[in-house]
Amino acid sequence: MISVLIPTYDYNTLPLVTELHQQLSAANIAFEIIVQDDASPLNSNTDNNQKINLLSDCRFERNDTNVGRGQNRNALIQKAKFDWVLFMDCDMFPKSDRFIQNYLDQIQNSHHSVYFGGLQYRTEKPEKAKLLRWVFGKSREEIPLSKRQAHPYDYCLISNLLIRKTILIQHPFNTAIYQYGYEDLVFILELKKHNIPIIHIANEAFHLNLESSAIFLEKFHSSLQNLQWILDHHIIQVEDTALTRTYAKISKFGLTKLAAFCFRSSQSLMTKQLLSAKPSLFVFDLYRLGYFCQLNQR
């Protein structure tokens, strides 16, 4: 009935799989859990993930070469044998012990094809070195159900998504997008383009893996580079993200060079603030906009 698909890269996915396996077994339904590592280095995480194979109807596999996030997901879809697919990121964990049952209740009582349960972050503040990721997640990703329902395409992620396999076959992940960043957005926009409703429910999973603020900032560099590539190749339009809409306004008034200069002049100060004990999302937004303007000056 349900294929749980978990793409991973150098992460111990065993605790997540163990919890999902327990809930799926208790629900007394046909299921499978497939975890696929995209050719990460062999280490203790690999050893832990190999133990997934000891659980019934579960398997862990590794790609021989790194194929990228989109292709890794598409490969998992091809392996899925059931009509429903639950996509979860490897660093998620169900908030409720009724996590699986909550999804089952939805698909048994409605005729929709896509359900997003939402995500949350722990209420306890992490150590200073990881605050930026936590602050961003609490503000920009942990969205109340009412707001998600009012804007279903704007606040949906692939990290906790139940979807019919037929939809995934018809609308696969874009394999041209190899680098990190905005691949979720491209997929969601594809659903929106074809008027496929996304039903938001209160069935959150916790996002557990908090990178250090420095790594999180560096990953945003990569994601914005990828966003620029996606725009250049007309995969999305400038109006599809708040950042690119703001950039378009700046560009319209001929202020891109000035914004890039201001970014270069203040980057070290903004970085210091974002790595502090009180990171500001306002500063973070200015940082991202300035970095994106700089990319367009090269």
61 phi and psi angles, rounded to 5 deg:
-130, 155
Confidence check: pLDDT of 232 > 70: yes
> For the CA atoms of 237, 243, 249, 252, what is the dihedral angle to 10 degrees?
-60
The whole-number pLDDT of residue 46 equals: 95
**Cα Dmax for the chain:** 62
Residue 175 confidence class, pLDDT cut points 50, 70, 90:
confident
pLDDT for the residue numbered 220: 92
Q: pLDDT tens digit string along 23-38?
A: 999 999 999 999 999 9
- Tell me the per-residue pLDDT of 69-86, one tens digit each, with 9 for 90 and over: 899 999 999 999 999 999
Would the pTM of this model clear 0.85, i.e. be above it? yes
Q: What is the 3-state secondary structure (H, E, C) of 73-100?
A: HHHHHHHCCCCEEEEECCCEEECCCCHH
**Token pair 């999973």: residue:** 205
Query: Looking at residue 176, what is its pLDDT?
Result: 84
Helix (H) / strand (E) containing 13: none
pLDDT for the residue numbered 298: 59
pLDDT of residue 181: 84
What would the DSSP string read from start to end of 151-188?
Answer: STTTT--TTEEEEEHHHHHHS---TT--SSSSHHHHHH
Who wins on pLDDT, 242 or 176? 242
